[in-house]
């Protein structure tokens, strides 16, 4: 686990929030209750750290998130015209402060007004002092390992761009970073097809040790009988992706198969190709999947988190949660390695309830609105209510 806490103050709906993180962090709850907001500080700082090392402004709009202007992210009713974002690991703490009383930007760029960085007990801070030189934290010229990890975060949004005839080649993405819409997944699948997948990330039925074989093995788990193929005419040419049933051998473009394949494929490529100890954020991992496949995705995410990736998933699926709980029961991931957060308890925006799992996969509490709709509906149908 790399990241232990995500912090924010005066950011959107949160006056203050310290969000505990673990190897697998699950964000669930009501719509518009603050789930996406809670993960946006991580994505915003990923965008910022990928920019120039001398950057002094935070871009609110980029490849990962588009949040508008400064007034859109500053909490309504904030006493001071500034907000702060932070991250903490076992031996590092970084907090950035943004905003200016004098110059309110409407261009989607917010001025850096303070930086506090602590590493191994050594502190270098400019909060309340002179204007900091840059967003990138360093002590004595040594780069921050935590900042490097944040910069390398891979993110797949709820939208996908796999309904194309040809897929682009990335220019600056790290290995396995398939892009926010999954647009680079065919490239990384083809680039890494013959690389060996660590044993702990392989499908329980194995199916072969290469990325190509493991993508097919996991696809077969989610979509029985389906495999993927990718090719291109030249090294820099766009990549063509097709899916086909094993029995027929016919090849179909993503536009001619179910949306579930297009949604799951980028996630599988990311999970099988990302380096160990890297961060991966996926929104709506269950989209367009059959309930059985949703449960399998939950188990898959738990297995990959247990294999050394740090994963954040935003979900509305009780089936996906059940898959995670089953994986904990079966020992693929320890209960303490799951951070389970429920947003909006009692109908309150920004209310975060942190739940726990035990060794049998049981949830410590079951607050109103936490995956209980099926029980309510069945009770009505059975005349219990």
- For the stretch 273-320, pLDDT in tens is 999 999 999 999 999 999 999 999 999 999 999 999 999 999 999 999
Q: Which residues pair with 16 in a beta bridge?
A: 9
Q: At residue 9, does pLDDT exceed 90?
A: yes
Residues 48, 146: one domain? yes
Q: What is the pLDDT of residue 384?
A: 66
Average pLDDT over residues 99-113: 76
Residue 120 sits in a domain of what CATH number? 3.40.50
Residues 133, 210: one domain? no
Residues 257, 294: one domain? no
Structure confidence at residue 125 as a pLDDT band (50, 70, 90): low
- Cβ atoms of 128 and 115 within 8 Å: the answer is no
Q: The domain containing residue 66 runs over which residues?
A: 1-153+288-385
Alpha-carbon distance of 125 to 118, in angstroms, equals 8
Number of domains in the chain: 2
Q: Is residue 194 part of a domain?
A: yes
State the chain's mean pLDDT as an integer: 90
Q: Is residue 282 part of a domain?
A: no
Alpha-carbon distance of 302 to 258, in angstroms, equals 25
Q: Is residue 283 part of a domain?
A: no
Alpha-carbon distance of 151 to 139, in angstroms, equals 18
The model's pTM: 0.94
Residues 85, 2: one domain? yes
Range in 88-102, 287-301, 308-322, 354-368 with the lowest mean pLDDT: 88-102
Classified as helix, coil or strand, 334 is coil
Residues 358, 245: one domain? no
- Cβ atoms of 156 and 266 within 8 Å: the answer is yes
Residues 50, 188: one domain? no
- Cβ atoms of 349 and 33 within 8 Å: the answer is yes
Residues 138, 170: one domain? no
> What secondary structure does DSSP assign to 311-324, as a single string?
EEEE---HHHHHHH
Cα-flanking dihedrals φ and ψ of residue 304, to 5°? -70, -35
Residues 236, 141: one domain? no
Structure confidence at residue 247 as a pLDDT band (50, 70, 90): low
Average pLDDT over residues 318-344: 97
């Amino acid at each position: 686990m790399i990241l232990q806490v995500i912090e924010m103050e005066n950011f959107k709906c949160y006056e203050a929030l310290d969000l505990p993180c673990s190897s697998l962090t699950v964000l669930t709850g009501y719509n518009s209750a603050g789930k996406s907001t809670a993960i946006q500080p991580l994505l915003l700082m990923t965008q910022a750290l990928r920019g120039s090392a001398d950057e002094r402004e935070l871009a609110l709009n980029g490849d990962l998130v588009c949040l508008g202007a400064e007034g859109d992210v500053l909490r309504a009713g904030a006493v001071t015209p500034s907000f702060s974002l932070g991250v903490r690991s076992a031996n590092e703490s970084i907090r950035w402060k943004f905003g200016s009383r004098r110059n309110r930007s409407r261009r989607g760029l917010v001025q850096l007004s303070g930086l506090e960085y602590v590493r191994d007990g050594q502190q270098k801070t400019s909060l309340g002092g002179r204007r900091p030189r840059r967003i990138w934290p360093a002590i004595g010229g040594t780069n921050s390992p935590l900042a490097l990890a944040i910069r390398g975060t891979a993110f797949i949004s709820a939208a996908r761009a796999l309904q194309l005839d040809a897929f682009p080649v990335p220019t600056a993405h790290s290995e396995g970073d398939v892009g926010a819409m999954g647009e680079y997944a065919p490239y990384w699948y083809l680039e890494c097809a013959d690389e060996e997948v660590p044993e702990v990330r392989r499908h329980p039925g194995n199916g072969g040790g290469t990325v190509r074989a493991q993508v097919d093995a996991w696809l077969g788990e989610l979509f029985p009988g389906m495999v993927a193929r990718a090719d291109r005419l030249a090294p820099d040419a766009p990549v063509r992706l097709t899916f086909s049933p094993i029995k027929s051998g016919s090849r179909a473009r993503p536009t001619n198969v179910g949306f579930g394949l297009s949604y799951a494929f980028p996630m599988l490529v990311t999970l099988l190709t990302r380096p160990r100890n890297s961060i991966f954020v996926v929104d709506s991992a269950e989209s367009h999947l059959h309930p059985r496949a949703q449960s399998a995705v939950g188990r898959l995410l738990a297995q990959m988190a247990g294999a050394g990736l740090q994963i954040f998933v935003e979900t509305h699926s009780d089936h996906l949660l059940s898959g995670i709980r089953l994986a904990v029961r079966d020992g693929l991931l320890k209960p303490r390695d799951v951070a389970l957060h429920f947003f909006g308890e009692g109908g309150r925006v920004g209310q975060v309830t942190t739940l726990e799992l035990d060794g049998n996969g049981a949830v410590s509490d079951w607050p109103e609105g936490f995956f209980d709709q099926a029980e309510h509906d069945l009770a009505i149908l059975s005349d219990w209510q």
